[in-house]
Structure 1
């Protein structure tokens, strides 16, 4: 009850902001009364925002602060929930806030490092170079003379986020209870995924670990660089990275003036995206132009590792087969992999889903090569899933958003080249290596070897269980004895074969437990 009162009070505050921007439609599906509250909450005044619904919503979320800016960015991946136009409008939501004071930044640094700032940095620039909803960045120089970028968590952001996440859970639970058709979209699970993502983003040690893992994956690759983590100057609310310099990827004139071919950069970007998704299953999920720079010689330099995505090998195989099916026009194959992966229930029509895939793909793939958007194709596929009772796949939604951002970068570099066309041979090679006959033989051999390695333990458990049966007997409840031997007043000592069968069954059960 207290939780409901607290959340209703918070919801009223949020409702006023949404109403001021004429964006109360966000709550109308869950709370029908909201349809009548917009003018009332505005006090009869005109909305402060104009334009499409998604633009008005983005303005309202920006005013509501850090948690809702992050929520808007997460919702921009949900074209299946909000529609393609609104999702696109939210994708432009700027994660920018006024900076907090340098005194606060210095205090947090000293608390995290456990001593005066001068013990760790010979200089610390009080003017931040970037200020976002979660943290802001200052340039500094270490005592050893290395130039670094210091990311400092915004004070109080954790408490505000946890307050707002409880409200989102409450609304999601209410939506699942009152709007049955929304349940397949898994609103509670979506909030949980959002909570996990932002919780990790607010612990800068996790961002440091993500940067370190990505750097390890690309060790020895001269085309892709990740700044080195300074672990001695990193903590929960503090991240220190090697300071790097480069040209923003969207400044193509500067790239050409520096003798760097944008087409070459695009090819490297396509290869890096392929390696992250298919080779490693670990990808940068926020690679917008502000997080991607080009160093000398056309080297890609990634920044900001707060939002990362993972796809397991099974999902990578599904994605590879699906992409190749779409690119080759084999829509039956696309449908088959959806059914095989369990994304579409078996009671749905394979033929009808094949037809749906064709209806989505043909208008997109029939365009000139450079205009083809795989991300848009996936987005439209997710939108028709309700017809086929296909459950939402959060890991694919994040990947689809990342693809959309990557395609945007690709069109900036060269609008006449399709990055997926550049990546197609890489995907096909990966598929041959991981789905071809040799790969299947390797998997079979690996499975057999694994079974043989477990066999000694299984036999040992069987021997031990058999000894227990022989020496101590198997004690059963009288009712169980009567059920097994209805025509006998007593149970005979198990035969050797029966004992072995029972022992083996028990050993397997114990092993699996």
Structure 2
């Protein structure tokens, strides 16, 4: 039965894109081949009258996705983080997508809270407000704990939102398969992978236990950060469809008039937004990936308060070191070193010319450094950098794309607070401190200690593992020419060294 339903959804989608004028925008953004353009017109133009009108004040693509509902809005928001897929122009349009929707009744929210927490709402909270915010997936209520009177924010999923999203995701998969069939050249955009990525992100947001865990991890990482705060998680009042956090008073970061009236230092706040983000990305490898004005408050004491932890970014330790070396290389205008880092990390194929690559990087960096300080952009630098590295054969790295997209958003927030901020001056001490602590002699010693600890855990088993590895090598060698005596000796020496290391480390650590 899903086939006909998916076709009907596809027709309604095509009709809405035609009616709002978004069809041409999307087809051009994806550089769609003729066969796909014809199919899109067939699915859209004859049924144009069935499409939604949408808000005429919005750009075409944003207008269409907003009219089609929550799953399409969320899909557009996620695609805005992938300019490598949709192109820079369309990604820019999609970044302004707002998922504010009419709230559902408070009585329904209370019933869900009672069912999820297995306790009547009146026993949990002394009061429970009407919705204070309503988005595509959930809405938020302010309440007070019945036991202590502490104010809390209660986030509740929309009724039957999981089923609604699943139906639309099925239709997205159907459309992706159709695109791959009609336009084999579009497979380079990996439409099925894009939908799979979307499904993974959305399914995570539809389970509020995961967002609660993200908030708790983020709070633990940033507990010692002066001037930055994450609301406390109330685990005993959280479940799959309900999340409860400490309620934090504050001024939305986008309300400049109120921020000034409250006497907050806008220049300091602008720098703080940028520095805290870089600290989280480099120091922790775990950062808020949706850090726009709506998800930031300025507390009465001037601290930044982060909200909404549905989209978080994570980068491993090695990638952080590479990223930091690239940034510091650009800051110091050491383009040769930036080029070498790309080759050392394997980002650029080894058969490319490092000097040519360094020359291309200079062409990226110098124009940006020649700008007025208030126009220098780290996000723009990373965007240009990805263009150059793609020409030199670097494969797309999703985690860096998300980092770059978030960097653009963070810079926008910083500049809205402090229009004259010098991004490089603010970033330099953070990057240099990370470099000093994580690249060089101190880092080498720390890495060796960490390696020794790992080896020590396998110490008693190292002789057995070495013997197994040598046995497998001997079996494979039967089909190859006999290795030279020196090579045999190398294998034996390696096995003996591993065994000895395991024995010694097992005793010392």
Please say if 1:13 is aligned against 2:16. no
Counterparts of 2:51 and 2:208 in 1: how far apart (Å)?
42
1:226-271 per-residue CA deviation (whole Å, 9 max, x = no partner) reads: 1111111111000111111011222333223322211111232222
- Match runs of 1:306-385 below 5 Å: 306-385=310-389
Partner of 2:48: 42
Partner of 1:188: 192
For structure 2, the 5+ residue unaligned runs are: 481-487, 503-509
Where 1:239 maps in the other structure, the secondary structure is strand
- Match runs of 1:412-427 below 5 Å: 412-427=416-431
Counterparts of 2:359 and 2:468 in 1: how far apart (Å)?
58
- Match runs of 1:280-291 below 5 Å: 280-291=284-295
For structure 1, the 5+ residue unaligned runs are: 470-475, 485-496
Partner of 1:124: 128
Q: CA deviation at 1:436?
A: 1.2
Q: Is the 8 A contact 1:186 1:392 kept in 2?
A: no
Q: CA deviation at 1:401?
A: 1.5
Q: Is the 8 A contact 2:270 2:414 kept in 1?
A: yes
The one of 433, 436, 441 aligned to 1:432: 436
The one of 229, 238, 254 aligned to 2:258: 254
Counterparts of 1:259 and 1:115 in 2: how far apart (Å)?
43
- Match runs of 1:173-212 below 5 Å: 173=177, 175=179, 182-212=186-216
The one of 279, 283, 290 aligned to 1:279: 283
Counterparts of 1:378 and 1:423 in 2: how far apart (Å)?
14
Q: CA deviation at 1:211?
A: 1.0
Q: Is the 8 A contact 2:271 2:414 kept in 1?
A: no
Partner of 2:484: none
Counterparts of 1:64 and 1:349 in 2: how far apart (Å)?
48
The one of 20, 35, 38 aligned to 1:33: 38
1:159-217 per-residue CA deviation (whole Å, 9 max, x = no partner) reads: 12222223333444555566566555444333322222211111111111111111111
Q: Is the 8 A contact 1:309 1:395 kept in 2?
A: yes
Partner of 1:140: 143
Counterparts of 1:319 and 1:165 in 2: how far apart (Å)?
34
Larger CA Rg, structure 1 vs 2: 1
Q: CA deviation at 1:305?
A: 0.9
1:390-442 per-residue CA deviation (whole Å, 9 max, x = no partner) reads: 22211111111211111011111111112442121111111121111221233
Where 1:298 maps in the other structure, the secondary structure is coil
Q: CA deviation at 1:33?
A: 1.6
Counterparts of 1:111 and 1:448 in 2: how far apart (Å)?
50
Query: Per the alignment, do residues 44 and 211 of structure 1 end up closer, same or farther by CA in structure 2, a change over 3 Å counting?
Result: closer
**Greater alpha carbon shift after TM alignment, 218-227 vs 380-389:** 380-389
Q: CA deviation at 1:376?
A: 1.9
1:356-382 per-residue CA deviation (whole Å, 9 max, x = no partner) reads: 333333333321112111112222333
The one of 111, 118, 124 aligned to 1:114: 118
Counterparts of 1:455 and 1:384 in 2: how far apart (Å)?
46
Partner of 2:414: 410
**Greater alpha carbon shift after TM alignment, 270-279 vs 354-363:** 354-363
The TM-score normalised by the length of structure 2 is 0.85
Partner of 2:166: 162
Query: Per the alignment, do residues 220 and 325 of structure 1 end up closer, same or farther by CA in structure 2, a change over 3 Å counting?
Result: closer
Aligned length: 484
Counterparts of 1:172 and 1:323 in 2: how far apart (Å)?
37
The TM-score normalised by the length of structure 1 is 0.84
The one of 229, 250, 265 aligned to 1:225: 229
Q: CA deviation at 1:332?
A: 2.7
Q: Is the 8 A contact 2:56 2:63 kept in 1?
A: no
